Amino acid sequence: MQDLTTGIERKRIFKFAVPMLIGNVFQQLYNVIDSIIVGNFIGEYALAAVGASFPIIFLLISLVLGLSTGATILISQFFGSKDLKKVKLTIDTINITLFISAIIISIIGTIFSKDIFILLQLPKDILPLATEYLDIYLLGFVAFFGFYGISSILRGLGDSKTPLYFLVIATITNIILDLVFIVVLELGVAGAAYATIISQGGAFITAIIYLNKYHKLIRISIFNVKFDKKIFLQSIKIGLPSGIQTSFVALGMMALFGIVNKFGVTIIAAYSVALRIDAFAILPAMAFAMALTTFVGQNIGANKYDRVKVGLISTIKMVLVVTATISLIIVFGAEYLMMMFTKEVDIIRLGAEYLRIVGSFYILFSVMFAVNAVMRGAGDTLIPMFITLFALWFVRIPIAFYLSDIYGEKGIWWSVPIAWAVGLSLSFLYYKTKRWKRMSLVKKQD
């Protein structure tokens, strides 16, 4: 656990962010390794099927991830104010919520998986493969939610290292199982899904055993847990806007896939692979933003508002350096990155086209995420939600739909940086109002 209310802001945020960044890299490796092995050993259709499943998985988990965000912010503020009793009560409450939610969402997702793909006009050639992959993936949702919950709790306590260790083990396990199930046993896309859920389950069980034995505050058990209605409602109040935002972002991704699907299997495969690389490229921005959110939460809980502004400026400086480097790698190495996933010339060309356009503007995304992290850490998640949804649904999707009729797939690619520019402008304007300073749930006594 780390107390982020003392020490040099830049060093505190950097030290906290780096383990999360490494952890996020390993988390993304789940999907990337699946895609690399699927693309090289099964083929273009299987690659498109796995990629088409991602926005649906994202949609199904989005609301619950929002609630976890609310719990993380509460834990960070309670921990900053040294209220350990409420920290423990919040941990129990979020664990119960995640377990029940995982079961419900798994059932709903399995029932409607095929219908969702049909609604998105997924080509019939890859519909059976996509449905098979998604149905198997859903079997592991309890483990996925459980591990994500543990990681969120630890982040709220200032511990970003412990989840990293379990993720490394899970990722290595996933690589081995991918090779066994796909290359040796030739189980196809089902093998990729089985490898993922087994790896997630192993990480979750290992985390439970370790924390119950060594951690001072966290005990994961089905006995002696307490559900606190007030804390649950507070988590909803903070986390629901983030959950709704994530849900509509997921729906937006599905809507964009609906536009992409009209161009055929090759475009779907290229877009799917480019999104995998895209997800890696923005990881530093997301890791530093998550670190800043916890930093802000703890310092507001400790009534140290002067450190918040310094933390934001320091974070922006760090992400600008990292993001500029990543942009150069993406823009000049686009074809080589695409070649890791497939040898199909058209897929490589189209994916590289996306990466060059979008990769040139990662700085906009990075700064936007940092600014929004301040509001979220303070507990003000509603306005950032509206800004994100406006940039997606009223800017990116309409522009993608309109420009795709004129310029083809390039119109879809250009909608991304345009939406980021609008989102950053609105987020910065709201940050300057300082309304977020009044949103803290932990009130300090004079």
Per-residue pLDDT of 412-440, as tens digits, reads 999 999 999 999 999 989 888 877 777 66
% residues pLDDT > 90 (the chain): 13
Band the pLDDT of 217: cuts 50, 70, 90.
low
Q: Is 445 within the bounds of a domain?
A: no
- Beta strands (DSSP E) in 378-425 are none
The type of residue at 78 is F
Q: Is 276 within the bounds of a domain?
A: yes
pLDDT at 441 over 60: no
pLDDT at 444 over 50: no
Averaged pLDDT for residues 395-403: 91
pLDDT, mean over the chain? 81
Residue 189's domain spans which residues?
9-437
Averaged pLDDT for residues 133-150: 84
Q: Is 115 within the bounds of a domain?
A: yes
Q: Is 364 or 247 the better-scoring residue by pLDDT?
A: 364
Side-chain-side CA neighbours of 389 within 13 Å: the count stands at 15
Q: Is 330 or 213 the better-scoring residue by pLDDT?
A: 330
| Contact indicator for 38, 189 with CB cutoff of 8 Å | yes
pLDDT at 28 over 80: no
pLDDT at 178 over 60: yes
The type of residue at 14 is F
- As a whole number of Å, the end-to-end CA separation of the chain is 27
Cα 420 from Cα 412, distance rounded (Å): 14
Averaged pLDDT for residues 138-164: 77
Copy the structure tokens of residue 19.
């383990």
Q: For residue 356, what pLDDT is reported?
A: 94
Q: Is 3 within the bounds of a domain?
A: no
Contacts of 26 (CB under 8 A, 6+ apart): 164, 167, 168, 170, 171
pTM of the model: 0.67
Q: Is 444 within the bounds of a domain?
A: no
Model pLDDT for residues 56-108, shown as the tens digit of each residue: 887 777 766 767 777 777 777 777 777 777 777 777 777 788 888 888 888 88
* DSSP collapsed to 3 states, 204-248: HHHHHHHHHHHCCCCCCCCCCCCCCHHHHHHHHHHHHHHHHHHHH
**Looking at the 3D structure of the chain, how many domains does it have?**
1
Q: For residue 399, what pLDDT is reported?
A: 92
Q: Is 250 within the bounds of a domain?
A: yes
Averaged pLDDT for residues 248-253: 74
Which of 348-357, 380-389, 436-445 shows the lowest per-residue confidence on average (mean pLDDT)?
436-445
Averaged pLDDT for residues 388-407: 89
Q: Is 58 within the bounds of a domain?
A: yes
Q: Is 86 within the bounds of a domain?
A: yes
Q: Is 101 helix (H, G, I), strand (E, B) or coil?
A: helix
| Contact indicator for 129, 1 with CB cutoff of 8 Å | no
